[in-house]
Amino acid sequence: MNTLADTGQKKLHVEFCGLEFATPLVLLSGCVGFGEEYTRVTGFSNRDAGAVCLKGTTLEPRLGNVPHRVAETWQGMLNAIGLQNPGVDKVVDEILPALDFSETRFIANVSGSTVEEYAEVTRRFNDSPIDAIEINISCPNVKEGGVAFGNDPDMSAQVVAACRAATGKPLITKLSPNQTDIADNARRCIEAGSDAFAVINTLMGMAIDIETRQPVIGNNQGGLSGPAIKPIALLRVHQVYQVCKPHGIPIIGQGGVTTPEDAIEFLIAGASTVGVGTALFYNPLVCKTINRGIVEYLEKHSLPNVGALTGSLSLHGDGNSPCFGG
């Protein structure tokens, strides 16, 4: 059957920043457009996903990068879309009213090139029916020579503080893995007012056409997602969880989730919910399989719900071995 029994469905219920999610699965930004592209897929049920993150939105419309924008790699995918979107006014005034908010929770994804742009886009979403707001701090800061906001704790905190002042809705900070100390960045973002984290965003990578000796991606480099990044994402979730646990701050763990076992690993590492992205491109109904597998695992181990798994990782020794390899 494609639907879970009511008892199994109850085990999947999660509270995230005061919002009730039907399941711990969150469909990630950039993978399902502005929501309606996915919710109209034949076979979709409002019990499949606890929330849907909308496509990254900026203040003004953006055409995005030159092609190629997407390239498949071994166990992964590179993308450099360039935040193509119609601008926040159109999203709020035309797209959001067409969504069925009874289907699932919808989370806006805010992007920008300046702190002021982040704050203004957040302010526009604050006056909308959107359930929560995710801040994509992996964008380049044009005032600082293109350095990504998310790779500098000071800039990350500035963006979070500005967005916090612009909204009373739950604020989720999407952390970049392309930085020196993700735990310290998370700490700074908590101090600035972040209610939750999405861990992780894509890693930067490249693919090369050996015949032309040029990058496959028109932007030369792109964000790597898919199963190839899962081990890195799991470690980052574990590291951020150590900072979040004392504050009761939840994490959306994401990066290469394709199976129930992947999702369970992220929950054990410290995630409260689990993001599904790249897998949707080749199996739009993968959430059904993942949800069913999570329920089977909970029942096998006599666990009452998903929350009993979160942060249940037991480390070997002190868990802080300083050396790797040879």
- Check if the beta carbon of residue 251 is closer than 8 Å to that of residue 237: yes
Question: How far lies 100's CA from each of 104, 246, 287, in Å?
Answer: 8, 36, 19
The residue length of the chain stands at 326
Q: Is the dihedral of CA 118, 86, 46, 28 positive or negative?
A: negative
Question: How far lies 92's CA from each of 79, 126, 137, 185, in Å?
Answer: 26, 10, 21, 30
Distance CA 304, CA 61 (A): 46
User: For residue 55, how far is the Cα from the chain centroid?
Assistant: 11
**Token pair belonging to 203:** 């890693």
Task: Mark residue 31 as left, alpha or beta (left: phi above 0; alpha: psi -120 to 50; beta: remaining).
Answer: alpha
Picking from 61, 54, 50, the residue whose alpha carbon sits closest to that of residue 98 is: 54
For 84, how many CA atoms within 13 A lie in the half-sphere containing its CB? 11
Helix residue spans in 127-202 (DSSP H) = 153-166, 182-192
User: For residue 186, how far is the Cα from the chain centroid?
Assistant: 15
Residue 139 is among the residues annotated as catalytic for this protein: yes
Q: 17, 139, 163, 189: which one is catalytic?
A: 139
Question: How far lies 55's CA from each of 17, 63, 85, 108, in Å?
Answer: 21, 13, 8, 7
Active site residues: 139
